[in-house]
Structure 1
Amino acid sequence: MKLSSLLAAALTASTTVLADSNGVTCLKNHPNIHNAIGVFCGKSNMVIPSAYGNRGFASGGKWVGIRGTCSPAQWVPMNWCISQLEEVCAQAPGDGNNQKKFGKNGCQTFVTWAA
């Protein structure tokens, strides 16, 4: 039992470090995308698909949003929105354009791009 508790704690810690690392990398490489993520992910009751996710948010010529084909719609908690968009941002090339699928069966597409 102790080993599984330690393993769970280690996995949680490594996930937190990775999320923090993605946030730092995103801020360093794409500050306007990072700012847009902060505003866009501030919605506490976001579901995908939705008009809100499709509309997204732009800052400094960069856009973030979440497109989706989920049926029924899936809730996206703020912390997931932030960490997943920061991951997409951190892995984006110089222009900031990137996308990655999340959610059940990959029905949510988190997107960053030049507006």
Structure 2
Amino acid sequence: MLNRSLSLLLFGLIALLSLATPTHAGPDFWAMWNNRNRCAQKDARVLAAINAFCNTNFYTGGPYASGGVAVAGVRVGVGATCRWGTFVPQVWCESQMLEVCAMGGGRGRGKRSYDGGCQHFWITNA
């Protein structure tokens, strides 16, 4: 009986601790979904450019990131000023690019800084 009670207590503690996971461990997928919808309403071509650019992991400061990718008259890319060589995984690229588009101008173009101002995600006309 004692073993069962300890097992239930341990299980309860594990369940409780699972609720205390860090909220910043990954991107907010609900915000990404909302930003994707806002971006699609502005200019669906931006989504195509984001998908083409963020289909791979990359490092800031390299030719891929700074040159960006152009699709259907839209160019997206990432500049770096103070910390070159920062790893940017696909999901973070997509999350931040969708935010740039959603918060950008009427056609989804704009620029936002991340990582303490060291990374500059941008969307422009090609």
TM-score range (shorter-chain normalised) is 0.7 to 0.9
Whether the 8 Å CA contact 1:101–1:107 is kept in 2: the answer is: yes
Of 17, 20, 36, the residue aligned with 2:30 is 17
What residue number does 2:121 align with? 110
Say if 2:98 is the partner of 1:59: no
- Indicate the residue corresponding to 1:74 in structure 2: 86
Gaps in structure 2 of 5+ consecutive residues: 1-12
1:8 positional shift: 4.7
Cα offset for 1:9?
8.3
- SS at 1:73 equivalent: coil
Q: Which residue of 1 aligns with 2:8?
A: none
Structure 1, unmatched stretches of 5+, are: none
* Letter in structure 1 aligned against 2:46: I
RMSD: 2.4
- Runs (4 or more) in structure 1 with deviation over 6 Å come to 9-12
Once residues 97 and 108 of structure 1 are traced to their aligned partners in structure 2, the CA distance between those partners, rounded to angstroms, is 17
Q: State the Cα deviation string for residues 21-59 of structure 1 (Å, max 9, x = none).
A: 111211221211110000101123x00011111110112
Mark the structure with the bigger radius of gyration.
2
Aligned to 1:58, the other structure's residue is in SS state strand
Give the aligned length. Answer: 111
CA apart distance, 1:65: 0.4
1:37 pairs with 2:50: yes
Percent identity between matched residues is 30
